[in-house]
Structure 1
Amino acid sequence: MTLLVDLAVSDRRIHSGGWRTPAQAGDIEDLEPATGRVLATVGLATAEDVDHAVTLATAAQSAWAATAPAERATVLRRAALVLEEHSAEVVEWLVREGGAIRPKAEHEVRSALDELWAAAFLPTLPHGELLPDTPERRSIGRRIPLGVVGVISPWNFPLLLAMRALAPALALGNAVVLKPDPHTPVSGGHVIAALFERAGLPDGLLHVLPGDAGPGRALTVHPDIAMIAFTGSTAVGREVGAAAGGALKRVSLELGGNNAYIVLDDADLDAAASAGAWGSFFHQGQVCMAAGRHIVLASVADAYIDKLVRQAEAMTVGDPWTSDAVLGPLINESQLAKVSENIRATVAAGARIRTGGTCAGLFHRPTVLTGVTPSMPAFTEEIFGPVAPVVVVADEEEAVAVANRTAYGLVAAVRTGSVERGLALADRLATGIVHINGQTIDDNAHVPFGGRGASGNGSRHGARQSQEEYTQWQWLTVRSAALPQPF
């Protein structure tokens, strides 16, 4: 089997009208976080490359929108088949480039496949409705493509979070300019370009431009970009939203989270501690849906903490490509420094490290903090590292108040022995998602996914929701003959 990603072809190049050298011939080394080895050298896009890509995309989009829906769906299905065929290769890139353990990488590939199959369903959905009107006129509301969609994707789930936006956008007749994060330019960029190239997507409809903030800004303010779909930090999302709003374009912001994991006094504590550890430590905590605050009723807090500590201490940390470690490395030194500083400041404010708190290179031990209060950094900030802060509360009333004491509103989870009790509590949580007797990290291609407040602007991903997101309404009226006007 030939490789999906041919580094000999893509070396020092970007994908825009084929593989080509960036306008300023810039490049960046793609490093393996676990070892520091150079995995590839990729082209680094500039604002000039963005402008060139948007011009090509604009020229190609109208013909793609006019393509029969079944033909567009076929391209998405072929892309899924190519990804299935090359899944082992893609898993290797996700492990080595992003520091993912193999099960996380395999899950990400399966989820990306779900996104492709779900997107292939979209072109053949009804895309309009007949509206009431006078007998001599037909009035139709129909959904039409936006035009060119800009997608800015992150490094933590690089394949999935790019695919979640670009697959439905393409399926619904748009062209896409994708700017993957420079930390994961292959698994979040080159892989996707190669998939759609092999699937037969017509030229000019997908451009992959790895880059830093410069091309991201250029994409956001470009007058011929109809929409920006951004997934990333809240701080950068505010900048993207402000720039896109100033340009009067649609923007979808999927941002950070500081998610509450609530443990009530009737919960199965063994199951709760296992799910809590998963929620805080999965992919080294580098997930917007991570359990950022374990809010535990006082009567069971000591027992829960002991079980959570045992879960953390049993976890192995190491190179995910050469070992069966449960946790891999953090993505880079900057992220490690942020995690370490948050722990240091929280302990200085009076919290206690029950386990963890140490690192070797980019490998950080899973950490449990106790004695955390709402004034401490581990409570107020999104840590994005393998840290489980525990907040003890007196009762359900205080649990709800503490859970809602945040600017974020992505997801919450409630552990309880009573579904009715969980449902009553869920009704009071100010989040876009609530899981009762689950954990905070959960998503699939068919649900309305999105947050509130600092977690996003309320837009939703998901199969049917994507049809709303990546198209716009047009009102169309038809008369068989012109109607005389008064003057």
Structure 2
Amino acid sequence: MALLDENRWNDLIFTDGRWRGGSGETVDVLEPATGSTLGKLNLATPADVEAASRTAAAAQREWAAAPHVERAAVLRRAAALWAEHAEEISWWNIREVGAVPGMAGFAVQTAEQECWEAASLPGRPYGELIPTGEPRLSMTRRYPVGVVGVIAPFNVPIILAIRSVAPALALGNAVLLKPDPRTAVTGGLVLARIFQEAGLPDGLFQVLPGGRDVGEAVVTDPRTAVLSFTGSTEAGRRVGELAGRHLKRAHLELGGNSALIVLAEADVDQAVNLAAWGSWFHQGQICMTTGRHLVHESLYDDFVERLAAKAAQLPVGDPARDEVALGPVIDAGQRDKIHDIVTSSAGVPGVRLAAGGEYDQLFYRPTVLAGVTASTPAFAREIFGPVAPVARFGSLDEAVALAGDSEYGLSLGIVTRDALRGVELADRIPTGIAHINDQTVNDEANAPFGGVGASGTGSRFGGAAANIEAFTETRWITVRSQAAGYPF
């Protein structure tokens, strides 16, 4: 039986362990490549959030008290279900998100790995003994935070939801997930079906697709203790401010404008291969996308020529029907934002449109902008589209200055024949992630993930240490063999 049988979820939301009608409007699930309707989606409202949080809080207490092997078993079954239904889920990812098959498959495989990694968390030590100056036993102990609110974006909806949902559940919490309405099937309803089939007790995981009002309700609800948000820096600032007013922890994974530095001794063909993938994979709709190419002046002209030639020969089209390298961007608003940055940059004196800069419907050609400087819009702003702005540098100090000339600090790539030199250079540039002889887009379930500056609040995703820190509270506990005595 299909995991996503349309009769099960069409025009419904998932709360309290069942599919039911939400209080909001019904919207079409659209395929960006064709504009056709894939189904109907019922949106939630703030009233639905309040009801869902109430039942989630009640269900969480019993789940937190469950044996750790029971929680781990649910996550293991969920991992197996991702693998079992990979083809079906990938099909939805291609159609709803516009992902090429390779990207769709990668998302499902990563979701599987996220669940395997999360399955190891319940069995890990949840405290430690610490020294004390008193005749007592002194220790720390980790406890679930209670209800976790997860707000995930449209671009890689499966990964950017499951990487918070899976560890939060594994550590004994309940989760309210608000996916982007544009990709709520793969970013929300798929997860609901996976955990439903995996035997997760009712009420622990609730999917509430909706707009800004629903997101604000998740943040401000008195029962949500921790917020995990992935999205734009602009939206993340609002979430952080709102969470701060309500004295809640907010883990924010935000935008990026990552640099790829090509040093003088680099192999140009290898560098161009990395650059093309870093800027154009998934239409550039990834927070880690290479947004700035910094190339040594001795290689600059050759690099631009070869990158532009690669852009010209890459096929763009419907990934569900054709073998293409790039699919559509998510919607017309995103396309127009990309094109505005490209055209305004191409109009700057000294900047040359070396390839691309054109689109057909939602299919934007891979684009190369040569001659950019730190003041060029395409260099200074996160584009979130398939655009490669290329700047030149002469010295390592100049490369460091250019790479650091950004409010963002997510990922960094350095291409060099001297790997240790690359590490030394990376140490001079503040980012949450750095790759030597690789491009900026990398992700593994067991690796810490996050950025600095306007890219977020650090590594709060991935790896056991980050996940345990993100979704538990620490309590100090002391034990005496008999009651302490005090002077009054």
User: Could you state the TM-score of these two structures normalised by the residue count of structure 1?
Assistant: 0.98
| CA distance in 1 between partners of 2:318 and 2:475 (Å) | 52
Deviations 1:208-229 (A, max 9, x none): 0111111001111111110110
2:326 is matched with which residue?
327
| CA distance in 2 between partners of 1:18 and 1:482 (Å) | 46
* C-alpha deviation, 1:22, in angstroms: 4.1
Contact in 2 for aligned 1:21/1:43 (Cα 8 Å) = no
| CA distance in 2 between partners of 1:108 and 1:215 (Å) | 26
| CA distance in 2 between partners of 1:30 and 1:353 (Å) | 35
1:475 is matched with which residue?
476
1:172 is matched with which residue?
171
Aligned length: 486
3-state secondary structure, aligned to 1:384: coil
3-state secondary structure, aligned to 1:389: strand
3-state secondary structure, aligned to 2:475: strand
2:403 is matched with which residue?
403
Contact in 2 for aligned 1:296/1:391 (Cα 8 Å) = yes
- The 10-residue stretch of structure 1 (468-477 or 135-144) with the greater mean CA deviation from structure 2: 135-144
Sort the Cα spacing of 1:227 and 1:164 in 2 relative to 1 into closer, same or farther, 3 A.
Answer: same
1:486 is matched with which residue?
487
Q: Which amino acid aligns with 1:367?
A: T
* C-alpha deviation, 1:483, in angstroms: 2.4
Matched, 1:377 2:377: yes
- The 10-residue stretch of structure 1 (223-232 or 342-351) with the greater mean CA deviation from structure 2: 342-351
Matches within 5 A, 1:176-187: 176-187=175-186
Contact in 2 for aligned 1:23/1:48 (Cα 8 Å) = no
Contact in 2 for aligned 1:33/1:99 (Cα 8 Å) = yes
1:94 is matched with which residue?
93
3-state secondary structure, aligned to 2:440: coil
| CA distance in 1 between partners of 2:418 and 2:129 (Å) | 46
3-state secondary structure, aligned to 1:313: helix
1:432 is matched with which residue?
432
2:339 is matched with which residue?
340
Contact in 1 for aligned 2:13/2:22 (Cα 8 Å) = no
Q: Which amino acid aligns with 1:387?
A: V
* C-alpha deviation, 1:480, in angstroms: 2.8
Structure 1 runs (4+) deviating above 3 angstroms are 18-23
* C-alpha deviation, 1:316, in angstroms: 0.1
* C-alpha deviation, 1:82, in angstroms: 1.2
| CA distance in 1 between partners of 2:480 and 2:39 (Å) | 60
- The 10-residue stretch of structure 1 (248-257 or 127-136) with the greater mean CA deviation from structure 2: 127-136
Matched, 1:390 2:382: no
| CA distance in 1 between partners of 2:460 and 2:208 (Å) | 25
* C-alpha deviation, 1:411, in angstroms: 0.7
Contact in 1 for aligned 2:291/2:382 (Cα 8 Å) = yes
* C-alpha deviation, 1:127, in angstroms: 0.6
Q: Which amino acid aligns with 1:446?
A: N
Q: Which amino acid aligns with 1:151?
A: V
3-state secondary structure, aligned to 1:299: coil
Deviations 1:290-334 (A, max 9, x none): 000000111110011111112111210000000111100000000
Matched, 1:305 2:304: yes
| CA distance in 2 between partners of 1:240 and 1:12 (Å) | 28
3-state secondary structure, aligned to 2:181: coil
* C-alpha deviation, 1:242, in angstroms: 0.4
| CA distance in 2 between partners of 1:23 and 1:287 (Å) | 30
2:270 is matched with which residue?
271
Matches within 5 A, 1:20-419: 20-133=19-132, 136-350=135-349, 351-419=351-419
* C-alpha deviation, 1:23, in angstroms: 4.6
Q: Which amino acid aligns with 2:168?
A: A
* C-alpha deviation, 1:347, in angstroms: 1.2
Output the aligned Cα RMSD.
1.1
Q: Which amino acid aligns with 1:479?
A: R
Q: Which amino acid aligns with 2:377?
A: P
Sort the Cα spacing of 1:407 and 1:135 in 2 relative to 1 into closer, same or farther, 3 A.
Answer: closer
Q: Which amino acid aligns with 2:480?
A: R
- The 10-residue stretch of structure 1 (100-109 or 346-355) with the greater mean CA deviation from structure 2: 346-355
* C-alpha deviation, 1:135, in angstroms: 6.6
| CA distance in 2 between partners of 1:486 and 1:63 (Å) | 42
1:3 is matched with which residue?
2
Q: Which amino acid aligns with 2:299?
A: V
3-state secondary structure, aligned to 1:103: helix
3-state secondary structure, aligned to 2:182: coil
Contact in 1 for aligned 2:17/2:205 (Cα 8 Å) = no
| CA distance in 2 between partners of 1:484 and 1:374 (Å) | 67
Q: Which amino acid aligns with 1:414?
A: I
Matches within 5 A, 1:458-469: 458-464=458-464, 465-469=466-470
* C-alpha deviation, 1:481, in angstroms: 2.4
User: Could you state the TM-score of these two structures normalised by the residue count of structure 2?
Assistant: 0.98
* C-alpha deviation, 1:424, in angstroms: 1.6
* C-alpha deviation, 1:25, in angstroms: 4.6
3-state secondary structure, aligned to 1:433: coil
Q: Which amino acid aligns with 1:175?
A: A
Q: Which amino acid aligns with 2:203?
A: G
Contact in 2 for aligned 1:132/1:139 (Cα 8 Å) = yes
* C-alpha deviation, 1:19, in angstroms: 3.4
Contact in 2 for aligned 1:459/1:469 (Cα 8 Å) = no
* C-alpha deviation, 1:421, in angstroms: 1.7
* C-alpha deviation, 1:134, in angstroms: 5.1
| CA distance in 1 between partners of 2:120 and 2:171 (Å) | 10
3-state secondary structure, aligned to 1:473: strand
* C-alpha deviation, 1:24, in angstroms: 2.4
- The 10-residue stretch of structure 1 (172-181 or 476-485) with the greater mean CA deviation from structure 2: 476-485
Sort the Cα spacing of 1:236 and 1:25 in 2 relative to 1 into closer, same or farther, 3 A.
Answer: closer
Deviations 1:52-89 (A, max 9, x none): 11001001111100011111000000011111111100
| CA distance in 2 between partners of 1:136 and 1:376 (Å) | 65
3-state secondary structure, aligned to 1:122: coil
Deviations 1:71-122 (A, max 9, x none): 1000000011111111100000100000000000001111111100000000
Contact in 1 for aligned 2:412/2:433 (Cα 8 Å) = yes
Contact in 1 for aligned 2:17/2:201 (Cα 8 Å) = no
Q: Which amino acid aligns with 2:474?
A: W
Q: Which amino acid aligns with 2:25?
A: G
Sort the Cα spacing of 1:339 and 1:25 in 2 relative to 1 into closer, same or farther, 3 A.
Answer: closer
Contact in 2 for aligned 1:122/1:463 (Cα 8 Å) = no
Q: Which amino acid aligns with 1:469?
A: A
In structure 1, the gaps of 5 or more residues are: none
Q: Work out the percentage of aligned pairs sharing the same amino acid.
A: 49
